[in-house]
Amino acid sequence: MVAELDERGLALPSACDGWSIADVLLHLAQTNELAAASANGETAGVVGEWAAPAGPMRTDVNDIAGRAVERERGSSGGAARARWVKSADDMADALEACDPASRVQWVAGDMAPRTLATTRLAETWIHTGDVCVGLGATQAPSDRIWHIARLVHRTLPYSFLRAGRELGGQVRLELTAAEDESAVWYFGDANAETIITGPAVELCRVAGQRAKAADTSLRGIGPDVDNVLDLMRTFA
């Protein structure tokens, strides 16, 4: 989508407030580099450089990300694109070299390399949608978001813990696949107390904070429906 854009195209505004398409690519490059460093066991130095404050220290992830983009914004859009492409390749190589049974550091603590890879897939997919808005394009459906939907389900305990709330029981997701709408993806026990149904794309957009659950066709039954739809997320 961005490969053939000239500087004018890369400067178009994205759906991220105050960020151009080039800014989105810069942000993804920065966080890809952080993930590669994590996979290589070099997180501490890179985190310090990436999150270095330009003023009073703030710890909100969005603040840190915004500050990092502001600090490095100014190079050409083409340079940001080239850095993003290289960072994605380097990150994939670093994650593939990890022992699947090992743990790597990330914002919310340590996790399996595959989980980190999935969080990067989730963020890239969300920001692809942001770029689509800037280009006036439609984001193509992809069944690769199965991994993102699974991440949403597996991290529900963390999402509740982060918000200081308690799950009332097990949660099951019954989601329409992205590409074949006749297929359904199931996550969780069939006897779960809370069941959420609807399109996987909508669930992933809500979890990525790009849509409000009330504006989607997601529905549910059970004691935790409202909390799940409010708290589910794909990032720290």
Tokens, residue 104: 């790597």
Q: What pTM, to 2 d.p., does this model score? A: 0.89
The domain limits of the chain are 13-111, 144-231
Q: How far is CA 174 from CA 15, 111, 160, 197, in A?
A: 29, 26, 20, 5
Between CA 158 and CA 167, with CA 162 as vertex, the angle to 5 degrees is: 60
Indicate the DSSP class of residue 2. Answer: -
- CA 192, CA 125: separation in Å to the nearest integer? 29
Spell out the CATH class of 144-231: alpha beta
Tokens, residue 22: 């080039």
The DSSP-derived string for 18-52 is T-BHHHHHHHHHHHHHHHHHHHTT-HHHHHHHHT-
Residue 126, pLDDT score: 97
What are the mean pLDDT values of the chain's consecutive 10-residue runs (236 residues total)? 97 96 96 94 63 48 78 88 98 97 87 95 97 96 97 95 94 98 96 98 97 97 97 87
The DSSP-derived string for 191-231 is T-SEEEEEEHHHHHHHHTTSS-GGGSS-EEESTTHHHHHHH
Residue 46, pLDDT score: 56
Residue 219, pLDDT score: 97
Find all residues with CB under 8 Å of 216, minimum gap 6, and list them. 198, 199, 202, 203, 205, 206
Condensed to tens digits (0 to 9), the pLDDT of residues 162-189 reads 999 999 999 999 999 999 989 999 999 9
Tokens, residue 159: 């999402």
